[in-house]
Amino acid sequence: MKKRRLTDAELEASRWIARLEASDVSLADHDAFRAWLDSSPENRAAHEAVSRSWDQLDALKVLAADVSASPSPAKPSRRALLLAGGAGAATVAAAGLIWLAIPAPTFAATYETSIGERERATLQDGSELELNAVTSIKVAFTERARLVTLERGEALFTIVSDQRLFQVRAGGKVVTVSPGAYLVRSHSEGVRLTVISGAANVRGMPAPLNSGSEAVLGSGAAAIHEIGLENASRRLAWRDHMLALDGDSLADAAAEVERQTGARFVFADASLGDLVVSGYIDARDPRAFIALLETNLGVSARERADGAVELSR
């Protein structure tokens, strides 16, 4: 496969990505990064290109990103990542992937739930995962970093202090978090990140998200909301088998009921999925959901021959 060397701007962008995800990243680092990014269109384009490549890496390759800002050439890092010049210089494959030295994992596991199930797990470092229904998570730890990948569904991450950085990866987005509690959900518009406590640094955002903040991370700019701790806690209603809808789209709400009950909903009109629904119901009772739609939205429901519930105006 033909390879090309990174440009100087791409090498610098790679170092900035690694630095901003380091455990000791500071506000001064963020300020310096923004200054570098704004200093030339070439820098911004390089950062966007390298970020796209970086997000394609698998879990263990992402774990290699905890490189320090200024690796010593006299004592090469075991992580041997993104070094400029010489035979060890980072290269980019035709497919756009960055070739990295991958650290050996010290802990790896997969956790999954099916319809209506919950699961709670304690990781090697003492951090905890709580999985909502129909959720899949992969975990990979090395001596230098900790990474969990949300492949689908929704989970609460309660992170303990450790000398290694902790990263959550979902929907192609990488979030570096401090000790605290974070709810991450696969969302119709991308990934929804709710900070219950702690602080989360999202790649590409100039400032961290703090307690009571929420972001929807999609293909465009992140939509950030200050929802407050009370509303953030309401997002955890599923732990008690309840469904707290607060301005959710009907498409997302129906998908959540499907995960909890196995019921299947179809829309007679695709635009129905954009309707906004609010309410607090038992997530295990699809009839309660249908009654909510009929009362609040004027949406009717009928069961089809194939067992699906068709929703119409």
The 8-class DSSP code of residue 106 comes to: S
Question: Residue 202: what residue type?
Answer: V
**Average pLDDT in the 3-13 region?**
72
Q: Which of helix, strand or coil describes residue 291?
A: helix
The pLDDT assigned to 173 comes to: 87
- The more confidently predicted of residues 12 and 249 is 249
The pLDDT assigned to 103 comes to: 58
**Whether the predicted pLDDT of 101 surpasses 50:** no
Give the burial class of 148: count Cβ atoms within 10 A of its Cβ; 0-12 exposed, 13-18 middle, 19 or more buried. Answer: buried
Instruction: Indicate the range of 112-116, 223-227, 261-265 predicted with least confidence.
Output: 223-227
**Average pLDDT in the 108-125 region?**
93
Question: Residue 10: what residue type?
Answer: E
CATH class as words, domain 241-312: alpha beta
The pLDDT assigned to 82 comes to: 36
Question: Given pLDDT bands bounded at 50, 70 and 90, which one contains residue 68?
Answer: very low
Question: Given pLDDT bands bounded at 50, 70 and 90, which one contains residue 98?
Answer: very low
The pLDDT assigned to 44 comes to: 84
Convert 73-107 to b/e letters by CB count within 10 Å (16 or more is b): eeeebebbbbbbeeeeebebeeeeebebebbeeee
CATH number for domain 107-234, candidates 3.30.413.10, 2.60.120.1440, 2.70.98.10, 2.40.40.20: 2.60.120.1440
Extract long-range pairs of 304-310: CB within 8 Å, 24+ residues apart.
304/266, 307/264, 308/264, 308/265, 308/266, 309/263, 309/264, 309/265, 309/266, 310/265, 310/266, 310/267, 310/268
φ, ψ dihedrals at 308, nearest 5°: -75, 150
pTM: 0.68
What does the alpha-carbon distance between residue 11 and residue 71 come to, in Å, rounded to a whole number?
13
The pLDDT assigned to 311 comes to: 95
**Whether the predicted pLDDT of 87 surpasses 50:** no
Query: Domain extents for the chain?
Result: 3-93, 107-234, 241-312
212: left (phi over 0), alpha (psi -120 to 50) or beta: left
What does the alpha-carbon distance between residue 313 and residue 301 come to, in Å, rounded to a whole number?
9
Cβ pair 18, 90 in contact under 8 A: no
The 8-class DSSP code of residue 20 comes to: H
**Whether the predicted pLDDT of 181 surpasses 90:** yes
Nearest to 258 by CA among 110, 114, 112: 114
What does the alpha-carbon distance between residue 203 and residue 193 come to, in Å, rounded to a whole number?
13
Segment holding 197, helix H or strand E: strand 190-197
Strand ordering across the sheet containing 145-152: 107-112, 136-141, 145-152, 165-170, 173-177, 199-202, 209-210
